[in-house]
């Protein structure tokens, strides 16, 4: 049984390279409506994409303001469904267990896990602004004693070895080296602990990264990895996949709807739609056990 959070060792300066400093600067300055407006609906800020069937009737709303509200709510519903899907693969967990949210953003995933299992959660983000925002949200929910966010590097967290029953990345692996990332997951997890990731990866069978993948990289200042790199890095760090699910088809409708939102589209929607359709880009869930 995993105990409640205790004091953690102070990690060094969060960024380890010029690139990581640029990523931190990006997220410290980010105020994108597609992240903030969706989160305001129920104070769950997810910072990722959605899965599931879309209610396209929201597009038939004649009043522009009401149409925007309905599209925003539908996109948020799809994003929350994705968060619940990931959280459901972390089980079994108990309220005494502790979980690790790597690249937690503004904190929605940790809250979802806590509400589902009652567990303790530690989120880590390289953005001081995000960590402060997420901790304030936890205080507002009166769960600050169980859900905590840290301004740290997910590759070198300073959190205690073997203290976690589960861990995950939700669309944040493209900012780091996978070998270092999964080494840290393996260090933090107890034996038998579960690691889950939802990733956008380029499809090795297509060849090299496509033009659309390159555009996504440039848009988010990231480096999308090939699918095969995940399984190699997991295997080298004692993480054995027990479930792999291709969510590409389930995510396409999200992008179709988002493209048609006048206020929330960011200009990258067509790159995702094209890459999903031509097979160069995949959206996967990988669940692995620490052995």
Q: Which residue has the higher pLDDT, 230 or 262?
A: 230
CATH assignment of the domain containing 218:
3.40.50.150
162-213 tens-digit pLDDT: 999 999 999 999 999 999 999 999 999 999 999 999 999 999 999 999 999 9
Residue 97 main-chain phi, psi, to 5 deg: -80, 160
Cβ atoms of 107 and 123 within 8 Å: the answer is yes
Q: Is residue 8 part of a domain?
A: no
Q: Into how many domains does the chain fold?
A: 1
pLDDT given at position 14:
76
How many CB atoms are closer than 10 A to CB 63? 9
What gap in Å lies between CA 200 and CA 220, rounded to an integer? 12
61-107 tens-digit pLDDT: 999 999 999 999 999 999 999 999 999 999 899 999 999 999 999 99
Q: Is residue 277 part of a domain?
A: yes
Q: Is residue 10 part of a domain?
A: no
Q: Is residue 80 part of a domain?
A: no
pLDDT given at position 194:
98
Q: Is residue 26 part of a domain?
A: yes
Q: Is residue 175 part of a domain?
A: yes
9-43 tens-digit pLDDT: 444 557 778 999 999 999 999 998 998 999 999 99
Residue 90 belongs to what domain range? Answer: 19-30+86-247+270-290
Cβ atoms of 35 and 69 within 8 Å: the answer is no
What gap in Å lies between CA 269 and CA 45, rounded to an integer? 20
pLDDT given at position 16:
77
pLDDT given at position 4:
45
- pLDDT averaged over every residue in the chain: 94
Q: Is residue 125 part of a domain?
A: yes
Residue 69 main-chain phi, psi, to 5 deg: -60, -45
pLDDT at 146 over 70: yes
pLDDT given at position 13:
58
The pTM (predicted TM-score) of the whole model is: 0.93
Q: Is residue 116 part of a domain?
A: yes
């Amino acid at each position: 049984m995993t105990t409640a959070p205790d004091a953690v060792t102070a990690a060094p300066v969060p960024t380890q390279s010029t690139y990581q400093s640029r990523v931190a600067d990006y997220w410290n300055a980010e105020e994108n409506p597609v992240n903030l407006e969706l989160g305001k609906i129920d104070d769950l800020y997810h910072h990722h994409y959605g899965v599931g069937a879309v209610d396209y009737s929201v597009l038939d709303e004649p009043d522009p303001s009401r149409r925007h509200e309905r599209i925003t709510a539908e996109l948020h519903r799809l994003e929350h469904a994705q968060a619940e899907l990931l959280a459901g693969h972390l089980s079994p967990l108990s309220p005494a267990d502790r979980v690790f949210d790597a690249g937690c953003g503004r904190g929605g995933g940790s809250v979802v896990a806590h509400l589902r299992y009652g567990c303790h959660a530690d989120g880590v983000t390289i953005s001081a602004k995000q960590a402060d925002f997420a901790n304030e949200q936890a205080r507002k929910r009166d769960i600050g004693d169980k859900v905590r966010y840290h301004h740290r590097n997910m590759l070198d967290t300073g959190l205690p070895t073997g203290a976690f029953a589960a861990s995950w990345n939700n669309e944040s692996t493209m900012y780091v080296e996978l070998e270092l990332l999964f080494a840290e997951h393996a260090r933090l997890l107890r034996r038998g602990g579960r690691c889950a990731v939802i990733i956008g990866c380029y499809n090795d069978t297509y060849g090299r990264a496509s033009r659309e993948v390159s555009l996504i990289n440039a848009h988010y200042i990231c480096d999308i990895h090939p699918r095969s790199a995940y399984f190699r890095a997991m295997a080298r760090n004692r993480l054995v996949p027990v479930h792999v699910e291709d969510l590409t088809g389930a995510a396409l409708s999200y992008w179709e709807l988002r493209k048609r939102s006048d206020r929330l589209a960011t200009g990258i929607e067509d790159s995702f739609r094209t890459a999903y359709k031509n097979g160069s880009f995949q959206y996967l869930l990988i669940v692995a056990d620490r052995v």
